[in-house]
């Protein structure tokens, strides 16, 4: 098509190219990968100085979005001709547009190597989605290049809304290409009911917020061919967050294994956040390759929502977290040991606390964790299920203060996921303001890791005494194990699940809410201050459930070094309270193991 519309689009293309070269800020510019910033500048230069009528032959286009015949083209074409609807559907659609001067394919001259690859990619998507492209009401193509896939989808019968997310000046180039190919897109940035439209990446969430006139969400397919693997990590995270929140029907991503980072690991991790709601698969891109063969370097990720399954509304409607724990610094066991050792040597206030699935339930209540799950862990800690909302809210705020004050946080190794018992901590720490990005993390099993590496011995070496806040009397055990001359013990009731107490004594402690209502205020207000007053800078080992995190904060505030060792106290006492390697050869809790020195 030529005429006023095409001329206007060409003028807009020139204007967009000049803006890019002039450094004029554009929407989402800060999120563009540096390598693609260079590509966009090269495209802008070619727009101004080369023949746009043959743009597919520009060197920068060959590097980025237009491939000719290459080693896999013949196999891709053979896969297409083997389709049962090749003659009726695919063959007519593979006639290339003359716009941009594409070089004809030697394998199939009516087409080009690039269009054959686009068609093969789309056919793979249809096979994974088990639906033709025209069965969807909306297609969102992230990084649509110059519009070749959009044109192909329309030739295959798609009649819904096709949204292309692109940066300038490529967005202006594809608008000109489509117009010259007989397809008139809506004004840039507009989201009509039907037809082709173009938007910047910053508008991605708005696309899914839009619904049909009857109030129903559009049946949507999200396509990203190579583009998502060529963005910054935070962009990928934000896109997957938006897709999970929108619960689109099908997600199709073709990615290269390496683009500054190991994309295979990135996309494998991303799948985990869609489990139980989506069917997922990752397979090689090249035709007829074994499922575990990624030698070519490109792979296909397919996610299809299972009919009737949806994420809970509270999870679906979450705003994106300001950052992810995966971007924070995670210390090794040896690095964590060095931090603790330095604090001891410098007599500097310090706290290491560890968070597990129990703390994650408290953090997630009430939006992501139901009351029954909180009641379960409350019973584990305190022996009863009667936690009032006010108590849980107080505990949340206290835990947030403790986390923000801690020098080192131990968190479970599971991938961040609010829906996962052990991934919830990592997901909620940054989302709900429990940490800054600069906070230091380590494995929640650091207390056992130090034991396995025999690092408690050098940690305590030369100390005249240490403090203990916990349920086990270790005043004789630790001197025998590590040669510490003196141990000062502030006892607390054990976690009732692991108490080993006779039922009558246990029931009495539960009725009195002995730990939360009695020992906690006594320790916080009198006994911990008195201990640190007697021994300034004391190293205090803490193993007292969720309240132990608050004891660590109190010790640090008073100038001590607090280390949350949790169930390590059971290991030292020779008691089996957990199912892992450190407890395999220990004896189960018996009545004589009771903590008897409670006031």
The length of the chain, given as a count of residues:
599
> Can you give the pLDDT at residue 6?
83
Q: Please, what's the largest Cα pairwise distance for the chain? A: 94
Any idea what DSSP says for residue 247? T
**Do the Cβ atoms of 522 and 599 come closer than 8 Å?**
yes
**Do the Cβ atoms of 132 and 153 come closer than 8 Å?**
no
> Can you give the pLDDT at residue 195?
96
Does 169 sit behind a cis peptide bond, omega within 30 degrees of 0 on the bond before it? yes
Tell me the pLDDT tens digit for each residue of 341-373: 999 999 999 999 999 999 999 999 988 888 899
Does 274 sit behind a cis peptide bond, omega within 30 degrees of 0 on the bond before it? no
Whole-angstrom distance, CA of residue 117 vs CA of residue 85: 17
Any idea what DSSP says for residue 262? B
Tell me the pLDDT tens digit for each residue of 414-470: 878 887 888 899 989 998 999 999 999 999 999 999 999 999 999 999 999 999 999
Structure tokens at 567: 């169930």
> Can you give the pLDDT at residue 2?
59
Q: Where are the alpha helices (DSSP H) in 435-592?
A: 446-452, 456-460, 477-482, 503-511, 520-522, 528-534, 545-557, 568-572
Backbone conformation region of residue 143, classed left if phi is above 0, alpha if psi is from -120 to 50, else beta: left
Any idea what DSSP says for residue 478? H
Whole-angstrom distance, CA of residue 550 vs CA of residue 568: 18
Which residue's entry shows tokens 């495209």? 43
Which residue's entry shows tokens 């896939």? 149
What's the N-to-C CA distance of the chain in angstroms? 90
> Can you give the pLDDT at residue 590?
52
Whole-angstrom distance, CA of residue 311 vs CA of residue 211: 18
Which residues, at least 6 apart from 433, have a Cβ–Cβ distance to it below 8 Å? 400, 404
3-state class of 198 per DSSP? strand
Give me the half-sphere count of Cα atoms (radius 13 Å) on the Cβ side of residue 207.
31
Structure tokens at 426: 């990592």
Where the chain has pLDDT below 50, the residues are: 1, 294-296, 591-599
> Can you give the pLDDT at residue 534?
97
């Amino acid at each position: 098509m030529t005429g006023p519309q095409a001329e206007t689009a060409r003028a807009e293309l020139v204007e967009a190219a000049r803006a890019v070269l002039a450094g004029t800020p554009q929407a989402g510019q800060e999120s563009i990968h540096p390598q693609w910033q260079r590509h966009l500048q090269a495209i802008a230069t070619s727009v101004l100085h080369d023949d746009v009528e043959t743009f597919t032959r520009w060197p920068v286009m060959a590097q980025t979005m237009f491939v000719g015949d290459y080693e896999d083209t013949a196999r891709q074409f053979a896969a297409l001709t083997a389709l049962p609807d090749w003659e009726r559907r695919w063959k007519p659609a593979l006639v290339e547009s003359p716009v941009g001067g594409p070089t004809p394919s030697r394998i199939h001259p009516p087409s080009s190597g690039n269009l054959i690859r686009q068609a093969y990619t789309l056919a793979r998507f249809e096979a994974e989605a088990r639906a033709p492209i025209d069965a969807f009401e909306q297609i969102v193509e992230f990084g649509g290049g110059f519009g070749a896939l959009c044109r192909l989808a329309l030739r295959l019968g798609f009649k819904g809304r096709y949204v292309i997310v692109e940066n300038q000046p490529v967005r202006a180039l594809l608008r000109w290409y489509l117009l010259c190919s007989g397809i008139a897109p809506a004004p840039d940035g507009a989201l009509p009911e039907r037809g082709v439209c173009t938007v910047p990446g910053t508008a991605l969430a708005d696309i899914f917020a839009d619904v049909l006139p009857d109030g129903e969400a559009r049946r949507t397919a999200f396509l990203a061919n190579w583009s998502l693997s060529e963005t910054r990590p935070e962009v990928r995270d934000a896109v997957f967050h938006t897709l999970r929140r929108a619960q689109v029907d099908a997600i199709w991503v073709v990615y290269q294994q390496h683009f500054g980072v190991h994309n295979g690991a990135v996309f494998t991790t991303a799948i985990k956040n869609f489990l139980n709601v989506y069917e997922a698969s990752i397979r090689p891109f090249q035709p007829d390759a074994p499922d575990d063969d990624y030698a070519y370097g490109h792979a296909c990720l397919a996610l299809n929502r299972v009919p009737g399954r949806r994420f809970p509304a509270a999870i679906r409607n979450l705003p994106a977290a300001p950052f992810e724990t995966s971007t924070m610094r995670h210390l090794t066991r040896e690095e964590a040991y060095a931090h603790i050792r330095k604090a001891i040597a410098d007599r500097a206030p310090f706290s290491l606390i560890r968070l597990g699935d129990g703390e994650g339930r408290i953090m997630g209540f009430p939006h992501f964790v139901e009351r029954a799950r909180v009641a379960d862990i409350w019973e584990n800690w305190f022996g009863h299920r009667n936690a009032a909302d006010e108590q849980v809210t107080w505990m949340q705020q206290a835990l947030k203060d403790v986390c923000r004050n801690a020098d080192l946080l131990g968190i479970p190794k599971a991938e961040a996921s609010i829906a996962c018992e052990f991934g919830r901590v990592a997901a909620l720490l940054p989302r709900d303001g429990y940490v800054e990005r600069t906070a230091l993390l380590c494995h929640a099993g650091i207390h056992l890791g130090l034991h396995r590496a025999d690092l408690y011995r050098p940690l305590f070496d030369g100390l005249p005494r240490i403090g203990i806040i916990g349920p086990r009397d270790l005043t004789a055990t630790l001197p025998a194990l590590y040669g510490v001359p003196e141990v000062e013990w502030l006892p607390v009731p054990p976690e009732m699940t692991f108490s080993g107490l006779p039922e009558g004594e246990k029931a009495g402690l539960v009725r009195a809410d002995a730990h939360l209502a009695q020992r906690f205020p006594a320790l916080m207000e009198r006994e911990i201050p008195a201990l640190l007053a007697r021994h300034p800078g004391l190293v205090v080992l803490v193993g007292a459930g969720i309240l132990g995190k608050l004891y660590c904060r109190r010790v640090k505030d008073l100038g001590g070094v607090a280390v949350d060792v949790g169930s390590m106290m059971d290991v030292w006492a020779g008691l089996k309270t957990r199912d892992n390697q450190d407890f395999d050869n220990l004896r189960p809790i018996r009545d004589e193991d009771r903590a008897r020195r409670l006031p």
